[in-house]
Structure 1
Amino acid sequence: MISTFFDHELKAFWRSKNTGKNITVKVVMGILIFILFLYVLALGVFMDKLLGAMFPQEDLTVAFCGVVLVYFLYDLLMRLQLQELPTLKVQPYLHLPVKRNSVVGYLALTALLSFFNLWPIIIFGPFILKVILPASGALTTLVFIVSIIGFSIFNNYLALYIKRKANLNGWIFLIAGAVLSLAICGDYVWHLYSLKAGSYLFFGNLIAMPYLVLLPLTLAAAMYYVNFYYLKDNLYLEELTTKKDAAPKSSTEIPLLNRFGHVGDLVANEVKLILRNKRPRSALVMGLFFMFYGLIFYTNPKLGESFKIFVGMFMTGIFIINYGQFMFSWQAAHFDGLLVSKIKFADFLKAKYLLFTIVSTVAFILTTPYVYFGWRTVLIHFIMYLWNLGVNTTIVLYFANRNYKRIDLSKGASFNWEGVGASQLLLSFPLILFPYVIFLPFKYMGYPNVGLATLAIIGIAFIITRNFWLQKLEADFYTKRFKIAEGFRNK
Structure 2
Amino acid sequence: MIKQFLSLEWKQFKRASYFQKGLVIKIFLILGALYFGGIALFMGVGMFFIAKKAIPDVDPIITVNNFLIYWFLFELLIRYFMQQLPVMNVKPLMTIPIKRDTVIHYLLGKTTLSFFNFLSLFLFLPFSIVLLVKGYPVINVFCWFLSIIFVTLSINFLNFLVNKSNTVFYIAAPLLLGLIALEFYGIYAASEPIGFAFNTLYNLPYLAIIPVLLLVVLYQLNFKYIKKGFYLDDAVSKKIKEVEATDLSWFDRFGSIAPFLKNDIKLIWRNARPKQTMMMSFMFLFYGLIFYTQDMYREMPAILAFASMFVTGGFLMTFGQLVPSWDSEYYKMLMSQNIPYRQYLESKWYLMVVAVAISFILSTPYIFFGWDIFGMIAAGALFNIGLNSFITLFGGALNRMPVELNTKAKAFSNTNGFNPTQMLIALPKFLLPMGLFYIPYKIVNFETGILVLALSGVIGIVFKNFFLRKIENVYQDGKYKTIAAFSEKK
Q: Normalising to structure 2: TM-score of the pair?
A: 0.79
1:354 aligned onto 2:358: no
SS in 2 for 1:403: coil
Q: How does 1:60-209 map to 2 (within 5 A)?
A: 60-94=60-94, 101-125=101-125, 127-128=127-128, 131=131, 135-136=136-137, 138=139, 140-141=140-141, 143-163=143-163, 165-166=164-165, 171-172=166-167, 174-175=169-170, 178-179=173-174, 181-183=176-178, 185-209=180-204
* Residue among 471, 474, 482 paired with 1:484: 482
- Preserved contact between residue 291 and residue 363 of structure 1 (Cα < 8 Å): no
Q: How does 1:310-389 map to 2 (within 5 A)?
A: 310-341=306-337, 344-389=340-385
Where in structure 1 are there 5+ consecutive unaligned residues? Answer: none
- Please give the alpha-carbon distance, in whole angstroms, between the structure 1 residues aligned to 2:373 and 2:356: 17
Q: CA deviation at 1:384?
A: 3.3
Q: How does 1:19-98 map to 2 (within 5 A)?
A: 19=19, 22=22, 26=26, 29-30=29-30, 33=33, 37=37, 40-41=40-41, 43-44=43-44, 47-94=47-94
- Preserved contact between residue 405 and residue 418 of structure 1 (Cα < 8 Å): yes
Identity over the aligned pairs, expressed in percent?
Answer: 24
Change (3 A) 1:389 1:125: closer
- Please give the alpha-carbon distance, in whole angstroms, between the structure 2 residues aligned to 1:92 and 1:424: 37
Residue in 1 that maps onto 2:16? 16
- Please give the alpha-carbon distance, in whole angstroms, between the structure 1 residues aligned to 2:158 and 2:249: 33
Q: CA deviation at 1:343?
A: 5.3
* Residue among 376, 390, 395 paired with 1:394: 390
Root mean square deviation, CA, Å: 4.1
Change (3 A) 1:309 1:271: same
SS in 2 for 1:364: helix
Q: CA deviation at 1:366?
A: 1.9
- Please give the alpha-carbon distance, in whole angstroms, between the structure 2 residues aligned to 1:430 and 1:68: 36
- Please give the alpha-carbon distance, in whole angstroms, between the structure 2 residues aligned to 1:151 and 1:446: 52
- Please give the alpha-carbon distance, in whole angstroms, between the structure 2 residues aligned to 1:469 and 1:80: 38
RCO higher in 1 or 2 (8 Å CA, sep ≥ 6)?
Answer: 2
Change (3 A) 1:121 1:384: closer
Residue in 2 that maps onto 1:271? 268
Q: CA deviation at 1:340?
A: 2.4
- Please give the alpha-carbon distance, in whole angstroms, between the structure 1 residues aligned to 2:225 and 2:263: 32
Q: Can you list the C-alpha shifts for 1:443-462, whole angstroms capped at 9, x where unaligned?
A: 8456946x756665664565
* Residue among 287, 292, 296 paired with 1:292: 287
Structure 1 runs (4+) greater than 6 angstroms displaced: 253-256
1:220 aligned onto 2:215: yes
Tell me the amino acid that sits aligned with residue 262 of structure 2: D
Q: CA deviation at 1:372?
A: 0.9
- Please give the alpha-carbon distance, in whole angstroms, between the structure 1 residues aligned to 2:102 and 2:223: 11
SS in 1 for 2:399: coil
Q: CA deviation at 1:203?
A: 2.1
Change (3 A) 1:388 1:88: same
- Please give the alpha-carbon distance, in whole angstroms, between the structure 1 residues aligned to 2:144 and 2:286: 37
Q: Can you list the C-alpha shifts for 1:147-188, whole angstroms capped at 9, x where unaligned?
A: 22321111111223332x14xxxx446525623541453355
- Please give the alpha-carbon distance, in whole angstroms, between the structure 2 residues aligned to 1:34 and 1:458: 38
Residue in 2 that maps onto 1:429? 428
Equivalenced residues, count: 478
1:403 aligned onto 2:399: yes
- Please give the alpha-carbon distance, in whole angstroms, between the structure 1 residues aligned to 2:427 and 2:219: 43
Change (3 A) 1:417 1:32: farther
- Preserved contact between residue 325 and residue 396 of structure 1 (Cα < 8 Å): yes
Change (3 A) 1:46 1:264: closer
Tell me the amino acid that sits aligned with residue 291 of structure 2: I
Tell me the amino acid that sits aligned with residue 348 of structure 1: Y
SS in 1 for 2:299: coil
Where in structure 2 are there 5+ consecutive unaligned residues? Answer: none
Q: Can you list the C-alpha shifts for 1:244-270, whole angstroms capped at 9, x where unaligned?
A: 42xx632x5767657664133222244
- Please give the alpha-carbon distance, in whole angstroms, between the structure 2 residues aligned to 1:459 and 1:344: 26
SS in 2 for 1:194: coil
Q: Can you list the C-alpha shifts for 1:106-128, whole angstroms capped at 9, x where unaligned?
A: 32232112232234344334554
Q: CA deviation at 1:364?
A: 0.9
